[in-house]
Amino acid sequence: MKCPHCGAPLKMEDKFCTYCGAPNTLAMQHQADMEHYEREFTETQEEVLTKSRKAGHLTGYLVVLIVMIVLNIVAAFFSSNAWNFKYERRQVEAAKQAHVHRAALDKMIEEQDYIAMRTYYYNNRLSGVDAFSEYEAVMRYAGNLGDIYMYLCNTDRYGYWKSEKGLENTITSMSSDIISLYENPLSSYYKEESVTEEKLAVIEDIRNQAEALLVTYGGFTSEEAQELKNMSKSRIEDTLREHLTAIRTEREAEESAAEAALDESFSLKEFYEEYFGGDDV
C-alpha cells in the first residue's frame, strides 16, 4: 500500500509514513479492527470454555447416573436370580453324587433309622433336587417323627416344660406334628415316584415309630396311640396335656426326693463315727 500524502510505500503495520511522517489511517483502522477482533475472539473463547466446563460437569453427572442405573439393574437381576443360580448349582452337585446319596438313604430306610435319614437328607441339601424327588414324601413324615422325638427325648425339653407357657407351646407343636403325621400323602402335591406302594409302606412305619415313642416316653397307652389317627386336634391336645403334666409332676417329685436325700446325708463327724469309730481318722 502507499501513503495517501506522499505516495511512499507503506506496510499495513506502519502507523506513520516513514518518509513524510503522516499518519497511516489505513493502518490505524486495521489495528483497531484487529484489536476488536482479538477482543471478540477472547470473549468468545472464554464463553466457550465456560460452557464446555459446565457441559463437562453435566456430562460427568450423567455418566455417573447412567453407571449407577446400570449397576442397579445388574444387581437387581442377580438378586432376583440368585436362588435360581444356587438351585441349579445344587442340582448339578447333588446329581454328581446321586448314587452315593441314594445308597445311603436306602440303607437308612432299610434299617428304619428315619430320623438319621432326614438329618442326612437336609445336611446334604438334597431337598428340592430332582434326582431325589422320590424321597420327598418320606422326608416330610420323617420330619414329624423327628420333632416328636425331640419334644419327648431331648433332655433340654423337660426344663422347658417347667413353665406353663413352655408346656402349652410343646403341646401345640406336638399336636400339629401328630395331625400332620396322619395326613394322606396321596392328597398332597407329591410326585408320583414319591408315593409308590414302597414309599407308602415306609410312611406307615414312620407312624408306627411315632406311636411307639409316645407310648414309651409320652405316657400314652397303646390304645391311645393307635387311636391318634381318629382324634380331633383338641382331643390330642388334651391327651398330651394330661400325660406331659403327669411326667412333669413325676420328675419334679424325683428332683425333690433327690434334694431331700442330699440334705439327710451324713455330716463329716457322723461319717467318721460310722466308718472309723471316732472323731479322727
User: Is pLDDT of 110 > 50?
Assistant: yes
Residue 83: predicted pLDDT: 47
User: Which residue is it, cell 502507499?
Assistant: 2
Most confidently predicted of 43-52, 94-103, 168-177:
168-177
Residue 161: predicted pLDDT: 73
Residue 111: predicted pLDDT: 95
C-alpha cell at 63: 455418566
C-alpha cell at 230: 381318629
| Cα Rg of the chain (Å, integer) | 47
pTM for this predicted structure:
0.62
| Distance, CA of 185 to CA of 155 (rounded, Å) | 32
Residue 225's nearest CA partner among 213, 241, 238 is 213
75: Cβ contacts below 8 Å, ≥ 6 apart = none
Which CB contacts under 8 angstroms, 24+ apart, belong to 41-49? none
Percent of the chain with pLDDT over 70: 59
Percent of the chain with pLDDT over 90: 38
Q: pLDDT-derived band of residue 281, with 50, 70 and 90 as boundaries?
A: very low
Contact assessment for residue 167 and residue 245, using Cβ atoms and an 8 Å cutoff: yes
Task: Name the helix (H) or strand (E) containing 158.
Answer: helix 155-161
Contact assessment for residue 135 and residue 200, using Cβ atoms and an 8 Å cutoff: no
Question: pLDDT per residue over 128-150, tens digit each?
Answer: 888 888 999 999 999 999 999 99
Q: pLDDT-derived band of residue 57, with 50, 70 and 90 as boundaries?
A: low
| Distance, CA of 197 to CA of 189 (rounded, Å) | 16
Residue 72: predicted pLDDT: 64
Q: pLDDT-derived band of residue 166, with 50, 70 and 90 as boundaries?
A: confident
